[in-house]
Structure 1
Amino acid sequence: MNIFKRLLTIGKAEIHSVIDSFEDPINLTEQGIREMKEELAKSVEALARLKALDIRKKNEAEAENQTANDYYNKAVVIVQKAEKGEVETTEADRLAKEALKKQTIAQENAQHLQKEHEKLFAECEKMQGNINHLKSSIAKWENELKTLKARVQVSEATKDINQKMTQMDTGSTVSMLEKLKERVVQQEALAEAYSDISASGKTIDEEIDAIVKNNDTEAEKALNRLKETLKKG
């Protein structure tokens, strides 16, 4: 994990500041995570082999203990048969001694295998701790990678906006807006002028009819008021 060791050997430095110092932090982090996962797979495989050996030693130790117990029981049976006269005493003593010797050898083997089992078990526990730490580190860096990608997206968007803002000519923009405002005012004035022209463009007959119509209406109203008055009288 050469690349990721560059990150892990920095010490207590902040992760973000460390990552920012590289040319391509995302690719470096992704590659580092891949290497850590490869290392994790190798460690799990090694742990499985070590545990298999540990289990084997444990089973062998238990088997040797059982063998030692069997030889002891056989020695007891031989002595009991000699006491009952079923076996000649000298022969019984010889066989019982041989059984006790084999018991001692089996016990020694069992003790040796038990020590190997205990040593292997301790190594398995240590390796399991390293694997757990490696898993935790992978999860940590994967979260950091997500954060890093989000930061890159935000920074790129911000940079793009700021770049566009710096490229804008503020003076020309204001000038353009002023010209647009002046044009709108001019258009509004022109529209009002056309409205005045349209209103004043009536013919003589139209003007006469308008006045006559207005007078007829007034006369009609006066006639109606007169009729009302007569009715009341």
Structure 2
Amino acid sequence: MGIFSRFKTVVKSNVNDMISKAEDPQKMLNQLIIDMTEQYNNAKKEVASAIADEKKLKGALQEQELQVNKWAKKAELAVSKGDDNLALSALNRKKEHEELAAQYRTQWESQKAATDKLKNKLRELSNKIEEAKRKKGILVARAKRAEAQKSIQKTMGSLNDKGAFDAFDRMSEKVDRIENEADAEEELNEMMSGDDLEKQFEDLEKEDNSEAMDELAALKAKMAKDKE
């Protein structure tokens, strides 16, 4: 069972290290599956070695069982020939092989039980790796969606930032103030340069001209009435 304990230790160590350094989830998951597959292949070799040992023990058991049958037949042959001493020797040899066969059977059964468990564990491990491969696509898609969501939230945050617009409004107010100050300064300059006196006479002439126009209109109205 130490095979799979080492597998878990190595994979867990790799996972913790990769997660702490992860920047690209897809690359991390790809590398993780590569590491899992590599450890699986190593475990597979060790399981294969255990299976080979089991088959070797089974072969040794079968060989001892053949020897038991062989010497049983020899004992029968010696008895049929009336040679009890030879038959007894054959039976003693048969017993030796029976004892060896019993020992090999115990070892083989224990090895087979352990090997069967290893094969089941290896099969489960293979299924989990295949499941991880299938889940990888889902995890990558989730990671990409999360990154896209972060980007959207960042963009929304920048759109909600009114700092630039407030600065624009303040600049607009400043320009208005500068323009007003410039107009006021121009007005003051005109007043100080004497142009204001000329303007007063111009206004006065306009007022006189306006009175003449009114008088002309009244005259035309009177003449029109006299003709009637």
Q: Normalising by structure 1, report the TM-score.
A: 0.57
What's the offset of the Cα at 1:71?
0.8
Aligned to 1:183: none
Task: Note if contact 2:58-2:105 (Cα within 8 Å) is conserved in structure 1.
Answer: yes
In the alignment, structure 1 residue 117 sits paired with structure 2 residue 76: no
Task: Note if contact 1:4-1:33 (Cα within 8 Å) is conserved in structure 2.
Answer: no
Name the SS of the counterpart of 1:50 in structure 2. Answer: helix
Aligned to 2:92: 101
Aligned to 1:132: 123
Any runs of at least 4 consecutive aligned residues in structure 1 with deviations exceeding 6 A, and if so which? none
In the alignment, structure 1 residue 42 sits paired with structure 2 residue 42: yes
Aligned to 1:162: 153
In the alignment, structure 1 residue 69 sits paired with structure 2 residue 76: no
How do 1:154-193 residues align onto structure 2 when only pairs under 5 Å count?
154-168=145-159
Structure 2 gaps of 5+ residues are 1-6, 166-228
Name the SS of the counterpart of 1:123 in structure 2. Answer: helix
Structure 1 gaps of 5+ residues are 10-18, 83-91, 173-233
Deviation string 1:168-221 (CA, Å, 9 cap, x unpaired) is: 26876xxxxxxxxxxxxxxxxxxxxxxxxxxxxxxxxxxxxxxxxxxxxxxxxx
Q: 1:7 to 1:137 in 2, by over 3 A?
A: farther
What's the offset of the Cα at 1:31?
3.5
Q: 1:3 to 1:98 in 2, by over 3 A?
A: closer
1-structure distance, mates of 2:14, 2:128: 12
Q: 1:24 to 1:170 in 2, by over 3 A?
A: closer
In the alignment, structure 1 residue 4 sits paired with structure 2 residue 2: no
Aligned to 1:211: none
Q: Normalising by structure 2, report the TM-score.
A: 0.58
Q: 1:28 to 1:163 in 2, by over 3 A?
A: same
**Among the aligned pairs, what percent are the same residue?**
22
What's the offset of the Cα at 1:72?
1.1
What's the offset of the Cα at 1:140?
2.9
Q: 1:133 to 1:63 in 2, by over 3 A?
A: same
Structure with greater helix percent? 2
Q: How many residues align?
A: 154
Bigger CA drift: 60-69 or 131-140?
131-140
Task: Note if contact 1:3-1:31 (Cα within 8 Å) is conserved in structure 2.
Answer: no
1-structure distance, mates of 2:10, 2:90: 62
What's the offset of the Cα at 1:141?
2.5
Q: 1:79 to 1:4 in 2, by over 3 A?
A: closer
What's the offset of the Cα at 1:32?
3.2
Task: Note if contact 2:15-2:32 (Cα within 8 Å) is conserved in structure 1.
Answer: no
Q: 1:147 to 1:23 in 2, by over 3 A?
A: farther
What's the offset of the Cα at 1:34?
2.3
Aligned to 2:220: none
